[in-house]
Structure 1
Amino acid sequence: TQRAGRAARQRPGVAYRLWEAAATAGMPPFDPPEILESDLSSLLLDCALWGVSDPASLRWLDAPPAAAVAEAAKRLTALEALDADGRITAHGKALATLPLAPRIAHMLVRAGERGLARTAAEIAVLLGERGLGGQDTDLTLRLQRWRREGGKRAEAGRGLAKRWARLVDARPPAEGGLHDVGLCLALAFPDRVAKRRSADGADWASVGGRGFRLDPLSPLASEAWLAVGEVQGSAAGARILSAAPIGEAEVIALFGERIAEHRTVKFRPANGGIEALRERRLGAVRLSSGSDDRPDPDAVVAALVDGVRQGGLALLPWSEAAQSLRMRADFAGIEALSDAALINTLDEWLPPLLAGKRRLSDIDRSQLSGVLETLIGWDGKQQLDQLAPPDFRSPAGSTHAIDYAAEGGPRVELRVQALFGLSQHPTVGNQRIPLVLSLTSPAGRPIQTTRDLPGFWAGNWRDVAKEMRGRYPRHPWPDDPASANATLRTKNADARRNS
């Protein structure tokens, strides 16, 4: 639109649109200000040189984004240009005097201290001039070709490199090393030093955490380490445009003070235990790893607790008594022992049980049951016993556990003779829910299941008793069980007891 308007003011003519008409509506009305999209390292270094540690304190037409300023400060700190308080260092002042971006200036100064000023200056030119020395991804090959190239552009580039090399106080040139180019690149881009993570050399992990991609057919794909200069694409898999080999020993020599030891403890759901590792890392790149025989006890407890939080309470070694207690609480509507409540308070009750343990199965089951009773409290225990008693006491005086997890509701299994004399069906809870009575013969074989004992006495009992008298003649089978005496003994045993 701008071009067409200008052309029309000059003379009649034609303006050609170089994109489809449908794309016009989605285009921004103008290019965004450069300060909103650029690397602000140079800007922040200039501000620090002026004594301004926070660019936001200055007046701007367009204020630099806070995230970009923070990233630039992090980068300059890594380049030793700023101290921890954001003030410029002596090294930073030296970088500010050079007509180069801070990364490249840092490379030139530090490489000069190693006798590699010429190589660093030549790399700086190659990174700024695409095509010099060819288009190879391997910057070492490009440098070798460029040094032999003729022509004005190649000569001008070499002249520029010489001028830049003279700007720094440098040691005498060092003898050419196998990885000089990679070393210089690593100085400029320490966060882009990358280690191969796939056998074919296609995937690389960088110190800064970005993932890089490389053509598996590239000669660089067989290297273990690369110093990467230029990349293109997303953070998850940026394509390497230029790089050079570097050895692990040289990486450690350059950045040894940045190597940190990490000790990690992870939960292993397969066995309910932990996996403790000791790692040496340079940024996001793992240099070495092995088992940690003495993991931090607090980290072990935290990993086990997190494992239960993620995998659920079923991972704990609950005893039958503890499971029964929780089922009763669920039936009684007591929230303190529900899954949600126990997970929410996990950090309060579980860690003390894990002291000195490395597996969940090592937890003392009796202690686990004791925790539940502590959580519910004395008053809660009384309420629980009232609403969901653990046992049913029969008229015969026998005690039978109530199964609150049974399908169809709370269930009790007992011999039918134990219920003689009971004319009302037993219930539990405030809502007087009928117990499911699973009635058995003297031999423990099932003969009837009912939620209506009086109905059973008045109905099917006659047929059941007739059949049972033939099978178990020594035991009582009265015609009116609702008025008979409950007993678990034989008829003869009862007679002797009553005589």
Structure 2
Amino acid sequence: LVMSATIDAEGVAGFLSSASESKPPVPVITAQGRSHPVDIRWQPPRGRIRMDDHVAGLVRTALDTEPSGDVLVFLPGMGEINRVAERLDNVLAEVHRLHGSLPPSDQDRAISPPTPPFRKVVLSTDIAETSITVEGVRVVIDSGMARSPRYDARTGMTRLTTIPISRASADQRAGRAGRIEPGVAIRAWSRLEHGARPPQIEPEITQVDLAGFMLELAAWGISDPAELPFLEPPPPRSVEEALLLLTRLGALDDRYRLTETGRAMVGLPVHPRLARMVVDAEGDGTLACILATLIDERDPMRGRPDEVPVDISLRVRAITDRGFGHQALVGPAVFRLRDRARELCDRAGVGWGPVDTDRIGPVLALAYPDRLAVRRGSPGRFQLRIGTSAFTPPRDTLAPEQFLVVADLDGRRKDTRIRLAAGIDPADVLTVFSHQIDHIVETVWDGDRLVDRTRSQLGALVLEETTQRVAPGAATTQAIIEKIRERGLGILPLIAKASELRTRVAYLRETLGEDWPDWSDQNLRDTLESWLAPYLREPRGLDDLKRIDLVTILRSQLPYPQSVDIDRQAPTHITVPSGRRRRVDYSGETPTLTVRVQDMYGSTKTPLIGGKPMTLDLVSPANRTVQITSDLAGFWEDSYQEVRKEMAGRYPKHSWPQDPVRAKPEVKG
């Protein structure tokens, strides 16, 4: 017999029918019960009013307009309950809080009849939806929200998230107003929004951490949940994450079978992380049981997030020393936790004894090896082993610590708040995580200097880092080669001077064939190992490249005949009729000689390179181009007289003869 007010009856019946094929279909029996009509009213907030203010306003209106009956208000959690209660401090009604953390006496007061002539307002979580009946309610005000656990496999945390309730939950809540007489249900959202809500609540198995569940299955010899019939099967990704965690904790072997450690963990009524801590704590058994209880139960410290200290050691001392050194500690909660910790010690076969609070960090790391955090920058800013950033309030006592072991986070993926943690000494970090720390030595660039960096690393955390200057060798040479390849040949010294040699060779390769080498940028970058590496025997950084003679290195790559022929077939300079030596430019399509007009008087022959006429860039005394030609004789005959007319007026101190072919070249500057 399966009973519920909000069950998906057809779905459950279909599942049970399929599980028992030989039997007739499972019947569905619907009983309406004795309930009175409930008037549903839609009252969404207007504008940007806060939900707390909106709900408080709905309560005040209901007390004014509804002549009788108590008011039950559904809110997501304690924070909202407290804020709405503050806004109702002057109403003519008894205002009670109702949630699972209240002691039984306070819960009894919340559900008991009010003192005449007052009415009662009960501000409740969803505990009043199914678990507790509040008598005398005729008005229900529903915020439409609830806290629901959501497991994030990336952070390994189950986070309580505020989500819209399902339509079935809304109906269940509204029904509380019609138990004794016709009632009213006021929903703080619109009819349109209601239609978009899911019909049923999402099954918890699809939302939570399955590590404990998978450990129980392993104890029964089951490693694959698919072997069992589920009304709602667990998500494969969540199963994989749970199995991975249990394997890392040593509870399962690589075939997902229960180990001896896992067998000891199964009998402990705490999360597998905490069970592993208790099993593995050896001489710190009492401390491990206290820590497991503190983490598994509700925090005994109450208050605003910035006011509640992060340090778990304060809670441990309260339990072991019977002292309440912090105003946020709640005495009854501490006593209850002490009793629970003793019970866990009994279950684990650990005697209750004194604890060493200096061991809190190392012991906690047994449960949360993946949540080591190191401080980065200012106090309170930390980086977790998985790479996520996290923080504590800057004035928290743990904010200056170098290392923390984090027991609880708020679950956000980015810049998550640390809610519960313990400091751990650097020496203990090296001891506890010795088998997981990677010691990495690599050659890296520090500006233009190569250094050997030695890094002790745990996951994404760099625990220690030192650098020293590299020694010359093959690794150093290769690092310099890669840097040149990355930044280009321009970082090499004398590259400009070498460019002249490279353009001469490029010209000869173009005109005479591929016997001449390819010294293009791309090919030189691709072949650095063959032509440059042999000369990099001592450098430790880019500054040391200044000693390299790039022109000599490149010339040495030419075979002997080419090293001689290059100066004959592609000379760097040519002597012109005036007797001056002029540099040849090979960067264009043809070799070019920049020369003053006066230097070429008396000659009709265009200089040749490789048997072909050069390009003459004929310039004025001010070195401005007046004519570009490969036919000097044609220039004298055709264009020269026009040039002479224009230039003679500008440069009267220089010779501009009528017949340049018979004139002597001008030698003066």
TM, length-normalised to structure 1? 0.71
**Counterparts of 2:295 and 2:421 in 1: how far apart (Å)?**
10
Structure-to-structure mapping, 1:97-136, within 5 angstroms: 97-111=267-281, 113-114=282-283, 116-134=284-302, 136=308
Deviates more, 1:309-318 or 1:327-336: 327-336
**Counterparts of 2:503 and 2:202 in 1: how far apart (Å)?**
64
* 1:123 aligned partner, one-letter code: L
Cα offset for 1:178? 3.4
Structure-to-structure mapping, 1:295-306, within 5 angstroms: 297=473, 299-301=475-477, 303-306=479-482
Which residue, out of 134, 142, 156, partners 2:315? 142
Q: How many residues in Structure 1 have an aligned counterpart in Structure 2?
A: 466
Q: Does 1:160 align with 2:340?
A: yes
**Counterparts of 1:134 and 1:483 in 2: how far apart (Å)?**
110
* 1:359 aligned partner, one-letter code: G
Structure-to-structure mapping, 1:15-54, within 5 angstroms: 15-19=185-189, 34=204, 37-43=207-213, 45=215
State the Cα deviation string for residues 378-411 of structure 1 (Å, max 9, x = none).
9x99xx99xx9675746649764344679xx986
Secondary structure at 1:219's aligned position in 2?
coil
State the Cα deviation string for residues 423-448 of structure 1 (Å, max 9, x = none).
6988999xx996544455xxxx6375
Kindly name which structure, 1 or 2, has the bigger radius of gyration based on alpha carbons: 2
Structure-to-structure mapping, 1:398-413, within 5 angstroms: 400-403=582-585, 412-413=593-594
Question: Retained in 2: the 8 A contact 1:353–1:368?
Answer: no
Residue 446 (structure 2) aligns with? 268
Cα offset for 1:140? 1.6
Residue 210 (structure 1) aligns with? 388
**Counterparts of 1:356 and 1:31 in 2: how far apart (Å)?**
71
Residue 357 (structure 1) aligns with? 539
Cα offset for 1:353? 5.5
Question: Retained in 2: the 8 A contact 1:118–1:165?
Answer: yes
**In the superposition, relative to structure 1, how do residues 18 and 268 fare at CA in structure 2: closer, same or farther (>3 Å)?**
same
Which residue, out of 322, 331, 350, partners 2:498? 322
Question: Retained in 2: the 8 A contact 1:436–1:451?
Answer: yes
Secondary structure at 1:481's aligned position in 2?
coil
Question: Retained in 2: the 8 A contact 1:231–1:238?
Answer: yes
**In the superposition, relative to structure 1, how do residues 28 and 94 fare at CA in structure 2: closer, same or farther (>3 Å)?**
same
Question: Retained in 2: the 8 A contact 1:36–1:65?
Answer: no
Structure-to-structure mapping, 1:325-340, within 5 angstroms: none
**Counterparts of 1:28 and 1:327 in 2: how far apart (Å)?**
74
State the Cα deviation string for residues 174-215 of structure 1 (Å, max 9, x = none).
65323233333222112222232234x220133333321010
* 1:157 aligned partner, one-letter code: L
Secondary structure at 2:435's aligned position in 1?
helix
**In the superposition, relative to structure 1, how do residues 173 and 273 fare at CA in structure 2: closer, same or farther (>3 Å)?**
same
State the Cα deviation string for residues 337-385 of structure 1 (Å, max 9, x = none).
56566666777876665454322343474568756997x999x99xx99
* 2:356 aligned partner, one-letter code: G
Q: Does 1:313 align with 2:489?
A: yes
Can you give the 5+ residue segments of structure 2 that lack an aligned partner in the other structure? 1-166, 323-329, 511-516
Q: Does 1:450 align with 2:623?
A: no
Which residue, out of 416, 426, 431, partners 2:597? 416
**Counterparts of 2:243 and 2:571 in 1: how far apart (Å)?**
66
Residue 255 (structure 1) aligns with? 433
Residue 198 (structure 1) aligns with? 377
Cα offset for 1:240? 0.6
Question: Retained in 2: the 8 A contact 1:322–1:372?
Answer: no
TM, length-normalised to structure 2? 0.56
**Counterparts of 1:209 and 1:315 in 2: how far apart (Å)?**
36
Can you give the 5+ residue segments of structure 1 that lack an aligned partner in the other structure? 491-499
Residue 467 (structure 2) aligns with? 291
* 1:2 aligned partner, one-letter code: A
State the Cα deviation string for residues 228-250 of structure 1 (Å, max 9, x = none).
11011434421110112222222
**In the superposition, relative to structure 1, how do residues 329 and 460 fare at CA in structure 2: closer, same or farther (>3 Å)?**
same
Deviates more, 1:354-363 or 1:392-401: 392-401
